[in-house]
Structure 1
Amino acid sequence: MYRRSFLQGSITLVLLQSLLGCTNNSQEKLSVQLLKGSIPAQVVNKFRRALQQKAQLNFAPAEQLQDLYQELQTWHNQSKTNSPKKWNFPLPLGSSAKDAVADLVTLGDYWLKAAIEQKLIQPLEVEQLKQWSNLPQRWQELVTRNEQGYPDAQGRVWAAPYSWGSTVIVYDRDKFRELGWEPTDWSDLWRSELRDRISVLNQPREVIGLVLKKLGQSYNTQNLDSIPNLEEELSTLNQQVKLYSSTRYLEPLIIGDTWLAVGWSNDVLSVLGRYPQLAAVIPRSGTALWADVWVKPAGVTGEDLAYQWIDFCWLPNIAEQISLLAKTNSPISTKIEYSNLQAELRNLLRNNNEIFAKSEFLLPLPPGVTAKYESLFNKIKG
């Protein structure tokens, strides 16, 4: 999934090296590779100041989640031939830590199954997470999986969610003012006025999923053949679509080539403030959810600072700061004053419990079912 590959917000984290006092090999060390823009630098500085002992912190950003997943694969392959290198602090600012194994890595929940199955990551020790009980059950269930990577109440905890978002509708409010209505749900994508005026994600699970949601079904439906009119509905939607893209779906909307787009909330939030003609809404019948999570690469030892960092991200006041500065949602309950947010951002950052309850994570499906989604998607697109 190519989420987080369009325009980034103004708060991004460049390679950050925080050394407290003189360099000392006996100091604790924490190395983190994370998604660019997902953690504000202010939060890292607060964590550094909150530590009881001096420590060496190094946070390095990556442009896309896929880059981080591939990094995990690289480290795993290295471990088969030789011992992968740990970061030897301090690193010169701007130098590459690409071959060195980090203590924690950002991963999207979409990648969890493959990372577990390929033994790229190791389970977390829940007893070392003091804030675990504050994490709502739905989030605990998302990261509790068996050795094959499927959700399993009897499985182990493989990740720690720290932010989330959803698939949303973003539209040109000027065009819709002329039409005399505004989109509120998936069914609006089929209206005749929008023929050849829509851009959507080039993702079978997302596109087929929104059609399933329109039909009152689940994003995670396994037997597509059992859904009446599914192919017909997909074919009609295809006539409405001008562009399928997971990286450039907002560009035609910004220049007026399309009037509506279906995309990921983090991409959309990054452009709403810059383009006042755009507005966004979460479909009221429910949508797809995604989460950014912390994972521990396989073979990494030395856990104290890593678990302290995860717990720190789950503190309500810190979760609130991450949400506001990184323009994202938190799995931890916060008391955000949404009136302090730009009006155009509120629809996406204010949690609507009713819609959230109707929404779903894209859970891993058996290989045969995944192939069916891809086959149907390619057939419809022609």
Structure 2
Amino acid sequence: MLNRRKFLLMAFLTAITPILESCSSSNNSLAIRVLKDSIPPQLLGNFQKQFPENRPLDIKPIPQLKSLYELLEKLSQEDNQKTANLVTLGDIWLEEAIAENLIQPLDLTSVDNWRKLPSVWQRLVQRDAQGNLAPNGKIWGAPYRWGNTVIAYRADQFREAGYEPITDWKDLWREELRDRVSLLNQPREVIGFTLKKLGQSYNTSDLEQVPNLKTELATLHQQVKFYSSQAYLQPLVLEDTWVAVGWSSDILQLQTRYPDLTTVIPESGTSLWADVWVQPTGKPSLSEAMLQWINFCWEEQAATQIGLFTNASSPILLNTKTDQLPESLQQDQLRIPPQTLIEKSEFLLPLSAQTKKQYQQLWREMRTNTSR
């Protein structure tokens, strides 16, 4: 069933999407393929007021990041000027998109608000031609939204059982939670937070050098009832599990309907993710309209709307003084975490081929462990 926000977004996008393919190659036209629900309708309305009426404006929501990546693959094989100037991409896809020549660098030197981004978000999108982080590399994306991996648990069940609240990753290994945990079916996330529990980085380059990692993963597997990247929250709602590890965007959406769920960012830090604007290959440079849109998304009013009306936040807000934020955001530690937690957290960065093999091997060993 459509909620009010989704209905307004769909209605608005229908109203502003003209059938103007014959004009869409103009330097001043703008065609955007955006991850559904990552841009609020209020922001789109404000941008439309600034965008000249005689310019084609074509903004369409796409349901999943995977579908957006597949769109980039398709665009690399055809004339993309009739389809999209800018596309949402998850930061975890950047390495592959660059290496496969699906996107091209962005010249953001003339965009004033680029300098407002926290340095961690700037470094995230500075890459070499293979997609690896490079301090002096070109800019391959414009981060406009971010979130993290969090722990959600049934506070009502914990109170009734007399259990202590969850505060960090180590709590997932508590004996009373055996067979009561649901996890993402994602080796980078699961092995990553286990590394964090052991005082290591999510981006550790040699897993074989981490003492007790295999033992910790085997013990964790005994705690897990479900692995899923799509349906990991349903067991929590149905009380089949009491704890779930998941992405903040999913859990924030659920929490408004289920007040008995408590969500925490682990105090030792967690993994971060970002949605970024990328430019498909095949266009010489950013047009005036594209630069206008990117800069607009980084304005404080637009950033605030992203924080208020989507299930995530804007990186711009992390450099905004707290007393300048709406009160609801000031009190929302999931969208605006303390700086100390941000400093302890990490993006999932590209790994070497050898490290990827180590992850795959550890994941197979963990999932096939029969000592449950």
Q: Same fold (TM over 0.5)?
A: yes
Say if 2:232 is the partner of 1:253.
no
Indicate the residue corresponding to 1:377 in structure 2.
363
Q: How far apart are the structure 2 equivalents of 1:379 and 1:65?
A: 29
Partners of 1:171 and 1:279 within 8 A in 2? yes
Deviation at 1:23, TM superposition (A): 11
Instruction: Give unmatched runs, 5+ long, in structure 2.
Output: none
Q: How far apart are the structure 2 equivalents of 1:248 and 1:370?
A: 25
- Give the paired residue count: 355
Alpha-carbon displacement from aligned partner over 1:95-114 (angstroms, at most 9, x marks no partner): xxxxxx30000000000000
Deviation at 1:372, TM superposition (A): 1.1
Q: How far apart are the structure 2 equivalents of 1:294 and 1:8?
A: 27
Q: How far apart are the structure 2 equivalents of 1:9 and 1:350?
A: 25
Q: How far apart are the structure 1 equivalents of 2:362 and 2:22?
A: 58
Q: How far apart are the structure 2 equivalents of 1:276 and 1:34?
A: 30
Q: Which amino acid aligns with 1:61?
A: P
Indicate the residue corresponding to 1:340 in structure 2.
328
Partners of 2:105 and 2:139 within 8 A in 1? yes
Q: How far apart are the structure 2 equivalents of 1:29 and 1:208?
A: 44
Indicate the residue corresponding to 2:130 in structure 1.
148
Equivalent position SS for 1:286? coil
Q: Which amino acid aligns with 1:347?
A: Q
Alpha-carbon displacement from aligned partner over 1:188-247 (angstroms, at most 9, x marks no partner): 000011000000000111000000000000000011011100000000000000001000
Indicate the residue corresponding to 1:185 in structure 2.
168
**RMSD, matched Cα:** 2.3
Q: How far apart are the structure 2 equivalents of 1:128 and 1:236?
A: 52
Q: Pairwise mapping of residues 212-361 of structure 1 onto structure 2 (< 5 A)?
A: 212-301=195-284, 303-333=287-317, 334=320, 335=322, 337=325, 339-340=327-328, 346-361=332-347
Instruction: Give unmatched runs, 5+ long, in structure 1.
Output: 1-6, 88-100
Q: Which of 81, 98, 110 does residue 86 from structure 1 map onto?
A: 81
Indicate the residue corresponding to 1:202 in structure 2.
185
Equivalent position SS for 1:106? strand
TM, length-normalised to structure 2: 0.90
Alpha-carbon displacement from aligned partner over 1:124-146 (angstroms, at most 9, x marks no partner): 01223221111121111000000
Partners of 1:19 and 1:57 within 8 A in 2? yes
Q: How far apart are the structure 2 equivalents of 1:9 and 1:213?
A: 38
Indicate the residue corresponding to 1:161 in structure 2.
143
Q: How far apart are the structure 2 equivalents of 1:24 and 1:376?
A: 52
Flag the structure with higher helix content: 2
Indicate the residue corresponding to 1:3 in structure 2.
none
Q: Pairwise mapping of residues 19-30 of structure 1 onto structure 2 (< 5 A)?
A: 25=23, 28-30=28-30
Alpha-carbon displacement from aligned partner over 1:59-103 (angstroms, at most 9, x marks no partner): 111111010001101111x23xxxx2533xxxxxxxxxxxxx300
Deviation at 1:11, TM superposition (A): 3.2
Partners of 1:171 and 1:253 within 8 A in 2? yes
Worse-matched range after superposition: 290-299 or 178-187 = 178-187
Alpha-carbon displacement from aligned partner over 1:328-379 (angstroms, at most 9, x marks no partner): 1111034564643698xx2312321101100000001012211210110111
Indicate the residue corresponding to 1:96 in structure 2.
none
Indicate the residue corresponding to 1:58 in structure 2.
58
Indicate the residue corresponding to 1:4 in structure 2.
none
Q: How far apart are the structure 2 equivalents of 1:262 and 1:225?
A: 25
Cα 1:164–1:85 change in 2 (3 A) is closer
Cα 1:24–1:381 change in 2 (3 A) is closer
